[in-house]
């Protein structure tokens, strides 16, 4: 008997944009209390852009572009933070509590403050969570 | 001659399955790839179960401010940490769990459990280096410089063992595995366990598991830091 490994069919660009939008909605619910303005502030986008994407059911990022724009890169960093928190905290409320609490590992700033400060701050939080998940035996 | 002991590691159950009910498996695959920058090629390179492959498969581009026992800050060395018993593994993980929770200045966290998994896997100890600490009582537990010097000077490193500094019994051993080939591809066993900060003590946590035995019930931060 020959076993042929089946590869999952790749998503179309439209499906990719829809998947990103679904993820954005999850992040909006867990970290931003359904508040488009708060999410927009953390991504450095206007509130109307977020609202427009959600109404359309797909994001406006160019997902097939190799050189991704900064906005999309920052969204991916925020998505990675959300993913790590999903992995670390069983209770969804704890993910938001951690995100907004002052943290001694960030010299008293909150992870939210760092993400709002720009891409470098967001990457610092992402790396910190990657590090936390990789530590320990 | 090699020996193949079973070693233990605690990991998060959702590490490799991001998403939720709203996302299909294909969508999760796509998002994982986007977020982690990994691909199917990477999955084929590591045929091990995901929790075993994770430290090798997922590049952790830690900044210069982060380090681990055998990996200096800013290094690209990949290392799978494990312990010789579930109990030693629990003491080591307790430190990192509490350190992370206590860095957040809030008392608002719920008392709900953080679900983790205790996994066991066979380890090939051929050419395993033994990192000796002359006087463990005098070594600061968070001083990793001795271990980093070893990692940097041993370019052909495969596996290292060292006495656990966080297990109060001083009988436990930890392992750092630098080559995934040293680990079996399948788990010996995986058991769910639950961690939570202890509501009755300021800086302590509790383990609970219906399946994994020999875990410390309560661990104080002062015992492991």
Q: What is the DSSP annotation of A54-109?
A: HHHTS--S-TT-SS--HHHHHHHHHHHHHHHHHHH-SSHHHHHHHHHS-BGGGTT-
| Beta-carbon-side half-sphere exposure of residue A17 (alpha carbons within 13 Å) | 16
The residues, ordered by sequence, that sit 6+ positions from B37 with a Cβ below 8 Å of its Cβ are: B59
The token pair at B28 is 């999760």
**Residues A80, A84, A87, A89, CA torsion sign:** negative
Contact at CB, B60 and A130, closer than 8 angstroms: yes
Nearest C-alpha of chain B: how many angstroms from A7? 9
Spatial distance between the Cα atoms of B5 and B65, rounded to a whole number of angstroms: 34
Domain coordinates in residue numbering, chain A: 13-134
Nearest C-alpha of chain B: how many angstroms from A8? 7
Task: Indicate if the pLDDT at residue A76 is higher than 80.
Answer: yes
CA-based nearest residue to B44, from A108, A65, A48, A7: A7
Q: B108 at the A interface (CB within 8 A)?
A: yes
pLDDT in tens, B38-83: 655 566 678 899 889 888 876 555 566 677 888 888 788 889 999 9
Contact at CB, A19 and B14, closer than 8 angstroms: no
Chain A, window 8-47: residues with a beta carbon less than 8 angstroms from a chain B beta carbon: 8-11, 15-16, 18-20, 22-23, 25-26
Task: Indicate if the pLDDT at residue B36 is higher than 80.
Answer: no
Spatial distance between the Cα atoms of A111 and B131, rounded to a whole number of angstroms: 37
Nearest C-alpha of chain B: how many angstroms from A123? 9
Q: What is the pLDDT of residue B111?
A: 78
Q: A79 at the B interface (CB within 8 A)?
A: yes
Residue of chain B whose Cα is closest to the Cα of A130: B60
Q: What is the pLDDT of residue A8?
A: 63
Q: B112 at the A interface (CB within 8 A)?
A: yes
- Paired residues of B206 in beta bridges: B196, B218
Residue of chain B whose Cα is closest to the Cα of A64: B34
Nearest C-alpha of chain A: how many angstroms from B89? 6
Task: Indicate if the pLDDT at residue B1 is higher than 60.
Answer: no
Contact at CB, B109 and A97, closer than 8 angstroms: yes
Any idea what DSSP says for residue B126? T
Residue of chain A whose Cα is closest to the Cα of B9: A137
The token pair at B82 is 């494990």
Domain coordinates in residue numbering, chain B: 6-224
Task: Indicate if the pLDDT at residue A130 is higher than 60.
Answer: yes
ipTM: 0.87
Q: What is the pLDDT of residue B16?
A: 45
Q: Is A2 or B108 the better-scoring residue by pLDDT?
A: B108
Q: Which residues of B100-131 are buried (b: 16+ CB within 10 A; e: fewer)?
A: bbbbbeeeebeeebbebbbbbbbbbbeebeeb
């Amino acid at each position: 008997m020959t076993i042929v490994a089946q590869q999952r069919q790749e998503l179309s660009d439209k499906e990719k944009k829809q998947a990103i939008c679904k993820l954005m909605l999850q992040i909006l619910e867990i970290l931003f209390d359904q508040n488009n303005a708060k999410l927009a502030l953390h991504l450095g986008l206007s509130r109307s852009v977020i609202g427009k994407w959600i109404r359309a059911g797909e994001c406006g990022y160019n997902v097939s572009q190799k050189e991704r724009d900064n906005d999309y890169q920052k969204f991916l960093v925020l998505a990675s933070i959300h993913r790590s928190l999903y992995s670390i905290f069983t209770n969804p409320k704890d993910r938001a509590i951690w995100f907004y609490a002052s943290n001694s590992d960030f010299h008293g700033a909150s992870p939210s403050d760092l993400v709002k400060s720009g891409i470098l701050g967001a990457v610092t939080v992402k790396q910190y969570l990657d590090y936390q998940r990789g530590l320990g035996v | 001659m090699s020996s193949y002991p079973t070693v233990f590691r605690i990991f998060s159950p959702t590490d490799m399955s991001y998403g939720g009910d709203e996302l299909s498996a294909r969508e999760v695959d796509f998002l994982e790839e986007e977020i982690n920058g990994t691909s199917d090629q990477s999955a084929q390179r590591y045929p091990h179960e995901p929790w075993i492959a994770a430290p090798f498969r997922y590049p952790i581009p830690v900044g210069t401010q982060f380090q681990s026992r055998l990996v200096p800050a800013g290094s690209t060395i990949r290392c799978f940490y494990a312990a010789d018993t579930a109990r030693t593994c629990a003491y080591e993980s307790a430190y990192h769990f509490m350190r992370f929770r206590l860095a957040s200045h809030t008392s608002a966290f719920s008392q709900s459990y953080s679900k983790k998994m205790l996994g066991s896997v066979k380890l090939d100890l051929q050419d395993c280096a033994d990192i000796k600490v002359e006087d463990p009582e005098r070594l600061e537990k968070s001083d990793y410089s001795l271990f980093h010097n070893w990692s940097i000077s041993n370019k052909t490193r495969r596996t290292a063992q060292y006495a656990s500094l966080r297990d109060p019994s001083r009988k436990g051993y930890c392992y750092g595995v630098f080559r995934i080939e040293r680990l079996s591809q399948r788990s010996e066993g995986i058991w769910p366990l639950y961690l939570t900060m202890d509501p009755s003590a300021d800086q302590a946590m509790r383990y609970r598991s219906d399946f994994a035995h020999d875990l410390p019930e309560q661990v104080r931060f002062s015992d492991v830091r």
